[in-house]
Amino acid sequence: MATQIPSRLTFVGAIRPGNTVEARWIVGHPMETGFRVDDSGVPVKRNVITQVSVLLNGRLILDMEPGTGISSNPYLAFPITVPAEGGTVAVEWLDDAGNRGSVQQLLLLSK
């Protein structure tokens, strides 16, 4: 059964048409590399996020395949140019254990 893993997406900057804002995504994931052993000497099974996709109004704008070099609780910051109509930014991810997660946030235009 898949585990519910929390994530959050926020924006920094004035959300106005044509402005570039910084999107910040963080997920509470352990990112086990498979190189560590527990107290009894048994290897801890690898479980890292293997796929991250960012969509702006349903259109793919960022696709990445992170690996074992990313620490637990991954944090990703990236720029987004605000479309004239505003819209929705969604981040979707998948890990080695088959867990999937997603979070979305509205780009509410400010005056």
In angstroms, the CA 26 to CA 15 distance is 20
pLDDT of residue 67: 86
Residue 68 resides in a domain:
yes
DSSP 14: -
Residue 90 resides in a domain:
yes
- The closest of 76, 67, 94, 75 to 5, measured between CA atoms, is 94
Range of the domain at 59: 7-107
| pLDDT tens digits along 16-59 | 999 999 999 999 999 999 999 999 999 999 999 999 999 999 99
Residue 1 resides in a domain:
no
Q: Do 94 and 100 meet the contact criterion of CB atoms below 8 Å apart?
A: yes
Take residue 4 and report the two structure tokens written for it.
């519910």
User: Residue length, the chain?
Assistant: 111
Residue 96 resides in a domain:
yes
Residue 2 resides in a domain:
no
pTM for the structure as a whole: 0.91
CATH number, residue 50? 2.60.40.10
- The number of folded domains in the chain is 1
Q: What is the Rg, in whole angstroms, of the alpha carbon atoms belonging to the chain?
A: 16
